[in-house]
């Protein structure tokens, strides 16, 4: 069953077509990657899915429900969560607070509850904090709850962002370059961690990634974009051999050059 389906999604900015009739299907509990050279439209696609952008044409479905053009907060409430290419945490709030904000859709307290501290509100807050702490342990940030988000080292900030995204109990998690800026050992941990997200929590994962090693290692299905067009789709083995993909990254003629090089090697 497909968790996310995009049909002919097109996004234009003035005269520039950032996404052209993109068809994509993300299967339930899959780890699905989107790759492509810079400017291919990957983050634009994420933005369309999460409601930041409104596609000019096409539709996006979350488990058969049309979510095209819904506002970001509604999309989140329906079960999609994301992280960002350049980490966007709430810098001047604590780690726990960041996660509590992530839980926002699942909490109910309002103005009155906040002022009166009635028993139901208090219990809700208490449970929420406990849940947040559990999430922290899960992502490996145990005990760091009271630190300011901006004071965490880079790798931990990334993990906090994921924890925050998990807090809303999503069905689908969009990860935008989760290993950016990491060294090989950190990258390994992240790969391991992403697998656990799927294995232990049953979340479907759609990720944008640049590091080919990660992509080939972790993905079950890969979609390749270039200049806003989908140019290939398949499992890692197929993509690696796909000439169009190679050309997209290395330029025309590279594919034949590579095979010639391989032949003469």
Partner 1 sequence: MLRNWMQRITLIDIIVWVIGLAILVGVVWGSIATLSAGKYSAETWINLTISGLALGGVYALIALGYTLVYGILRMINFAHSEVFMSGPFTATFVADALIAVGWWNKYPWLSLLIILLSAAAVSAGIAFLLERIAYRPLRNAPRLVPLITAIGASFFLQYVFRGLYGSGLKDYPSMEMFKGFWMIGDIRIFKTQAAAIVGAILMMVVLYGIVQWTKLGKAMRSVSEDKEVAALMGIDVDKTISNTFSMGGAAAGVGGILYLFLFPVAHFFMGFFPGLKAFTAAVLGGIGNVPGAFFGAMLLGLLESVGPNLFLDGLGVPTPSQLKDAIAFTVLVLILIFRPTGILGEKLTQAKA
Partner 2 sequence: MQTQTPSPWKQAVSAGLIGGIVAILMSLVGMVAAFKERYIVSGMFTMSQILFLAPILLFAYSAIRRTAPQPANKIISIGSLSGLVGSAVLAVLVLIGKYVNLRIMFVNASPELYGILTFNQASVLGLLLLLIMGIVIGAVAGGAYLLPQRVRSALAQATIWVCLIGLLRDLIVTVSYRWGPIAGIVKYFFEISGLKPLGAVFLFILIGGINYWRAGKPKAARTSNFTDQKPLRRWLTLLGAGLILILLPSVLGIYFSEILDNVLMYILMGIGLNIVVGFAGLLDLGYVAFFAIGAYTMGVLTSPELGFFNLTYWQALPFALTACVLAGFILGLPVLKMRGDYLAIVTLGFGEIVRLLALSDWLRPWLGGTQGIQRIAQPKIGSFLINTQQELYFLFLAGVAIVAFIAWRLKDSRLGRSWMALREDEDVARAMGINHVITKLMAFAVGALFSGLGGTIFAAKLTSVYPHSMNFMVSINVLCLIIIGGMGSIPGVFVGSLLLIGSPELLREFAEFRYLVYGALLVTMMLTRPEGLWPEARRRLELHEAEELPPPEDLQPVPNHPGQ
Nearest 5°: the CA angle 31, 184, 146 is 80
Closer residue to partner 1, CB minimum distance, 56 or 63: 56
Cβ burial 195-206 (10 Å sphere, 16+ → b, else e): eebbeeeebbbb
Tell me how crowded residue 127 is: count the other CB atoms within 10 A of its CB.
Answer: 12
Closer residue to partner 1, CB minimum distance, 40 or 191: 40
Rounded to whole angstroms, how far apart are CA atoms 243 and 253?
9
Closer residue to partner 1, CB minimum distance, 85 or 240: 85
Rounded to whole angstroms, how far apart are CA atoms 239 and 250?
14
User: What is the closest distance, in whole angstroms, from the C-beta atom of residue 13 to partner 1 in the complex?
Assistant: 8
User: What is the closest distance, in whole angstroms, from the C-beta atom of residue 94 to partner 1 in the complex?
Assistant: 18
Residue 237 three-state SS: helix
Contact between 1 and partner 2 per CB under 8 A: no
Q: Name the maximum alpha-carbon separation found in the chain.
A: 78
The piece of 23-31, 80-88, 233-241, 254-262 that touches partner 1 (CB under 8 A) is 80-88
Query: What crossing angle do the helices spanning 95-102 and 119-139 adopt, rounded to 10°?
Result: 110
According to CB under 8 A, which one of 84, 90, 193, 227 is a site residue for partner 1?
A: 84
Contact between 88 and partner 2 per CB under 8 A: yes
Give contact residues for partner 2 (rule: CB under 8 A): 50-52, 71-73, 75-77, 82, 84, 88, 90-94, 97, 100-102, 104-105, 107, 109-111, 113-117, 121, 125, 134, 137-144, 146-148, 151, 164, 166, 168-169, 189, 193, 196, 200-202
């Amino acid at each position: 069953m497909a968790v996310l389906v995009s049909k002919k999604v097109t996004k234009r900015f003035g005269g520039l077509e950032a996404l052209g009739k993109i068809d994509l299907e993300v299967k339930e509990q899959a780890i699905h990657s989107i790759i492509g050279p810079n400017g291919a439209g990957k983050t634009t696609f994420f933005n369309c899915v999460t409601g930041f952008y409104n596609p000019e044409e096409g539709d996006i479905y979350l488990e058969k429900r049309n979510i095209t053009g819904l506002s970001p907060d509604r999309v989140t409430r329906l079960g999609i969560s994301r992280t960002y290419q350049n980490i966007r945490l709430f810098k001047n709030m604590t780690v726990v607070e960041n996660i509590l904000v992530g839980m926002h859709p699942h909490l109910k307290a309002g103005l009155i509850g906040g002022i009166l501290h009635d028993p139901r509100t208090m219990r809700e807050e208490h449970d929420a904090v406990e849940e947040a702490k559990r999430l922290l342990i899960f992502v490996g940030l145990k005990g760091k709850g009271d630190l300011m988000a901006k004071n965490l080292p880079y790798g931990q900030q990334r993990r906090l962002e994921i924890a925050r995204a998990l807090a809303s109990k999503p069905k689908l998690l969009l990860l935008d370059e989760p290993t950016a800026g990491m060294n090989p050992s950190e990258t390994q941990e992240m790969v391991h961690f992403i697998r656990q997200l799927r294995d232990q929590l049953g979340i479907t994962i759609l990720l944008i990634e640049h590091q080919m090693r990660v992509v080939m290692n972790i993905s079950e299905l890969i979609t390749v974009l270039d200049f806003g067009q989908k140019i290939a789709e398949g499992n890692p083995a197929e993509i690696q051999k796909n000439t169009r993909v190679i050309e997209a990254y290395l330029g025309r003629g590279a594919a034949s050059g590579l095979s010639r090089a391989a032949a003469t090697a």
